[in-house]
Chain A
Amino acid sequence: QVQLQESGPGLVKPSQTLSLTCTVSGGSISSGSYYWSWIRQPAGKGLEWIGRMYASGSTNYNPSLESRVTISLDTSKNQFSLKLSSVTAADTAVYFCAREVGRGSNFWNYWGQGTLVTVSS
């Protein structure tokens, strides 16, 4: 059974870079044919897809965040990461990592529990 777990600082200062890692267990991120995604949810609000990455290095980002986002894979650690630069209070949210159901399916049945990141000085 695939499991995902987010980790990273819970507090980031404005204008700095938010960095999160998703550790995957129960399956290899490099051997499977899946895209690995980040999705976020401000408190009391809806979900926003941030972007996705395939083991080959192929990425897709939400245009609303594309200029500030980088998603990368570390296959040696079976992890993938999110970096979001120049953060503001509007980036305060619960951040989820997720794996899609099947290659290119673009909907998700494996999710991490989510991690709250607060942007504040």
Chain B
Amino acid sequence: ENVLAQSPGTLSLSPGERATLSCRASQSVSSSFLAWYQQKPGQAPRLLIYGASSRATGIPDRFSGSGSGTDFTLTISRLEPEDFAVYYCQQYGTFPLTFGGGTKVEIK
């Protein structure tokens, strides 16, 4: 199983600041098959990024993904009020499909 470790656990930032979230895999993620999701309380996850760096339909360009192999990053260039949420990475290169433990982005 490819275990994903996300850091930090919590990120305290102010609106307008830049957020950098990390996802590290225990094994190389084949073909950069890594996705990022945003989840708000009481809601289902929302797909943001797939293929490590491709934005999903309708996702603002302040969200960007990068990385390959075992190290991946989600960057939110300038935090908007609606961006405060929990973010999960997910690898889909091997079974079982696995998620990271999440990073909470909270208002400072």
Chain B residues within 8 Å of A, Cβ to Cβ: 1, 33, 35, 43-45, 47, 50, 56-57, 88, 90, 92, 95-102
Complex A-B, nearest 3 residue pairs according to Cβ-Cβ distance, in ascending order:
A111-B44, A106-B92, A107-B35
Residues of A within 8 A of B95 (CB): 60
Tell me whether B44 and A96 are in contact (CB under 8 A). Answer: yes
Query: What are the residues of chain B within 8 A of A98 when measuring CB–CB?
Result: 44
A49 touches B98 (CB 8 A): yes
Interface residues of A in 1-57 (CB under 8 A from B): 45-49
Interface centre among B35, B57, B97, B101 (most CB of A within 10 A): B97
Q: How far is the CA of A114 from the CA of B42 in the complex (A)?
A: 9
Given A46-B101, A49-B96, A63-B96, 19 further pairs, Cβ under 8 A: A46-B100, A47-B90, A49-B97, A62-B97, A63-B1, A64-B96, A96-B44, A101-B50, A101-B56, A105-B50, A105-B92, A106-B33, A107-B50, A107-B90, A109-B47, A109-B56, A111-B44, A111-B45, A113-B43
Are A108 and B47 in contact (CB-based, < 8 A)?
Answer: yes
Are A47 and B99 in contact, with the CB atoms below 8 A? yes
Interface size class of A (residues with CB under 8 A): 20 to 34
Interface residue ranges, A against B (CB under 8 Å): 45-49, 60, 62-64, 96, 98, 101, 105-109, 111-114
Contact A47 B88 (CB under 8 A): yes
Q: Which residues of A contact B43 (CB under 8 A)?
A: 113
Contact status B44-A48, CB under 8 Å: no
Indicate whether A48 sits within 8 Å of B56 (C-beta atoms), given known contacts A106-B33, A112-B44, A113-B44: no
The residue in chain A whose Cβ has the minimal distance to the Cβ of B92 is A106
